[in-house]
């Protein structure tokens, strides 16, 4: 079992950081897949439906509070470790995007821009992005003044204005907002 792992939400000022572990899908089903950042929301949703129906996958999110407490790099390590621990079987090879690493007991390969060149990593990027984006959109019901459906927690001008006007929520990464929350 070869799996791909990617993360989303490294840079936003609100919301969790999320990883997905995807494996067990026939390579032919991933023909033409691309990194989630190169797809429209509609295309991501269509791919996510295919991936969920034909693969084994796990999604793990680490909250903004934990990102603030231990830092983004440690939060990502924790997410990858938890994702692999929750995966139904131990992979024979773990393919990771960018600067992600699995615990030492896994045979692994980190690929710079792997979400652009490795279909399993692209699949993981799509599953993670769709999951996190839906979560951020649902947050709108609790925090309607922040515009989460539009920016998904990224630091847009409108989002910063809302933070300055209404303050930060528990979904905001205070460690990312030192210039805004002075």
- Domain-embedded: residue 141: no
Q: What is the pLDDT of residues 100-137, one digit of tens each?
A: 999 999 999 999 999 999 999 999 999 999 999 999 99
Per-residue pLDDT of the chain (182 residues), as tens digits, is 999 999 999 999 999 999 999 999 999 999 999 999 999 999 999 999 999 999 999 999 999 999 999 999 999 999 999 999 999 999 999 999 998 999 999 999 999 999 999 999 999 999 999 999 999 999 999 999 999 999 999 999 999 999 999 999 999 999 999 888 76
- Domain-embedded: residue 25: yes
**Which pTM value belongs to this model?**
0.95
- Domain-embedded: residue 115: yes
55 within 8 A of 30, measured Cβ to Cβ: no
Q: What is the number of domains present in the chain?
A: 1
- The Cα 20–Cα 134 span in angstroms is 14
Coil vs helix vs strand at 155: coil
CA-to-CA separations, 151 to 14, 118, 132, in angstroms, rounded: 10, 27, 12
- Domain-embedded: residue 146: no
Q: What is the dihedral of CA 92, 28, 81, 106, to 10 degrees?
A: 20
Q: What is the CATH number of the domain that holds 77?
A: 3.30.420.10
- Domain-embedded: residue 181: no
* Count of alpha carbons within 13 angstroms of residue 169, beta-carbon side: 20
- The Cα 58–Cα 11 span in angstroms is 22
- Domain-embedded: residue 67: yes
Range of the domain at 88: 2-135
- Domain-embedded: residue 40: yes
């Amino acid at each position: 079992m070869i799996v791909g792992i990617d993360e989303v939400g490294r840079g936003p000022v609100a919301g969790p950081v999320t990883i997905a572990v995807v494996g067990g899908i026939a390579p032919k089903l991933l023909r033409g897949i691309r990194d989630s950042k190169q797809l429209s929301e509609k295309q991501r949703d269509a791919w996510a439906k295919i991936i969920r129906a034909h693969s084994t996958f796990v999604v793990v999110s680490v909250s903004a509070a934990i990102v603030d407490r231990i830092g983004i790099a440690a939060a990502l390590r924790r997410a990858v470790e938890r994702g692999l621990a929750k995966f139904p079987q131990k992979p024979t090879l773990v393919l990771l995007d960018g600067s992600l690493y699995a615990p030492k007991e896994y045979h692994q390969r980190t690929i710079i821009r792997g979400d652009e060149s490795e279909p399993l990593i692209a699949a993981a990027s799509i599953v993670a992005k769709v999951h996190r984006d839906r979560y951020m959109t649902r947050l709108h019901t609790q925090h309607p003044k922040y515009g989460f459906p539009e920016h998904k927690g990224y630091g847009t001008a409108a989002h910063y204005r809302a933070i300055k006007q209404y303050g930060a929520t528990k979904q905001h990464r205070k460690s990312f907002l030192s210039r805004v929350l002075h």
